[in-house]
Amino acid sequence: MTMLILPGLVDAHVHLREPGAPHKEDILSGTRAALAGGVVGILDMPNNTPPTVTADALFDKQRRFQRQAVSDYGLFLGFDGEHLDPVLRLAADAVGLKLYLDETFGDLTTREPEALARLFEAWPGPGPVAIHGESPSIAMALALARRYGQRLHVCHVPHPDDLLAIDAARQAGAEVTCEVTPHHLFLDSTALERLGPYGQMKPPLVSPDDVARFWERLDLVDAVASDHAPHSRAEKEWAQPPPGVPGLETTLPLLLGAVDEGRLSLERMQSLTHHGP
Ligand code: NCD
Ligand code: ZN
């Protein structure tokens, strides 16, 4: 038997459901799940009800985390296309600004080109602008990041070819980081028949060939992030199931399995789950 002592994982993309939907997950259960999975720090997304797009919402969420979280944490702000000035004033209180450029669970999609340009121009950091988007939206965000010299983080890269676009933008001088989810590395679209609604998430599972390409291009990836997005069983079994799967407790065992199989070095695993995030 081998004993490994590893630095704690940092998961840069989770959706604990508080406030708004604690029947799916709350801050205590979510941060306990994190610790159980070897994750000592999480970055929480803003698509709550109400969304984390104002000072009131951000400070309310901070108070909840201060009271209940048993892991380290950081909170993302969101942008709804309207509250630009308050969001800019809150930049130092958040780990970054999350933009939803395409539809997903929640109601935060922003596509208005002028609002996006103003945001890429004005966001002061220190955290990055982080985006949820399909391939065309990623291309648009990469162009905005280059144009305004804005630091960009691409969440849950949907397709391995997006890694090539990210690489090209980096070569051209853009400061871009990105993450891939465990389900895009360890599941493919052939699992949908077996998993039904439990295999539905955004971005969707990709073909076995594309999974292989994600592995081939893993050098271009900064972090593995779970996109932990729990829903209740009843919700998943509705006619229109919401997208999302939990992942806080499965990321580390999956990656260690890949290390055991020789598909990933232990050093690289640590850079994807600790140093990268
Ligand atoms: C996420 C959720 O449920 O909040 N769902 C998902 O499928 N990943 C939203 C998101 O990150 O797109
Ligand atoms: Zn997400």
**Predicted confidence (pLDDT) per residue in 178-196, tens digit:** 999 999 999 999 999 999 9
Residues in contact with ligand 1 (CB, 6 Å cut-off): 15, 47, 104-106, 132, 201-202, 227, 229, 242-244
Contact between 105 and 241 (Cβ < 8 Å): no
| Cα–Cα distance measured from residue 138 to residue 177, given in angstroms and rounded to the nearest whole number | 12
C-alpha distance from residue 86 to each of 32, 47, 80, 106, 130 (Å) = 32, 17, 11, 20, 18
**Predicted confidence (pLDDT) per residue in 7-52, tens digit:** 999 999 999 999 999 999 999 999 999 999 999 999 999 999 999 9
The mean pLDDT value for 62-68 works out to 98
The mean pLDDT value for 171-183 works out to 98
Q: To test the ligand 1 pocket, which listed residue (18, 47, 187, 236) has its Cβ within 8 A of the most ligand atoms?
A: 47
Q: Residues 37, 256, 242, 20: what is their CA dihedral angle, to the nearest 10 degrees?
A: 20
In DSSP terms, 77 is beta-bridged to: 97
Work out the pLDDT band at 2, boundaries 50, 70, 90.
confident
Residues 6+ apart with CB under 8 A from 191: 199, 205
Residue 120: its pLDDT value, please?
97
Q: To test the ligand 1 pocket, which listed residue (48, 105, 231) has its Cβ within 8 A of the most ligand atoms?
A: 105
The mean pLDDT value for 132-161 works out to 97
Residue 83: its pLDDT value, please?
85
The mean pLDDT value for 66-81 works out to 97
The mean pLDDT value for 86-91 works out to 96
The mean pLDDT value for 142-148 works out to 97
* Ligand 1 atom index nearest CA of 242: 3
Q: Whose CA is nearest to atom 5 of ligand 1?
A: 244
Residue 244: its pLDDT value, please?
98
Q: Is the peptide bond before 46 cis (omega within 30 degrees of 0)?
A: no
Tokens describing residue 93: 């209180």
List phi, psi (to 5°) of 152.
-125, 140
**Predicted confidence (pLDDT) per residue in 104-136, tens digit:** 888 789 888 899 999 999 999 999 999 999 999
Residue 79: its pLDDT value, please?
95
- 97 by DSSP, 3-state: which? strand
pTM above the 0.75 mark? Answer: yes
The dihedral region occupied by 202, where left means phi > 0, alpha psi between -120 and 50, and beta the remainder, is: beta
The mean pLDDT value for 135-155 works out to 97
C-alpha distance from residue 52 to each of 150, 181, 203 (Å) = 22, 23, 22
| Average pLDDT for the chain | 96
Confidence check: pLDDT of 231 > 90? yes
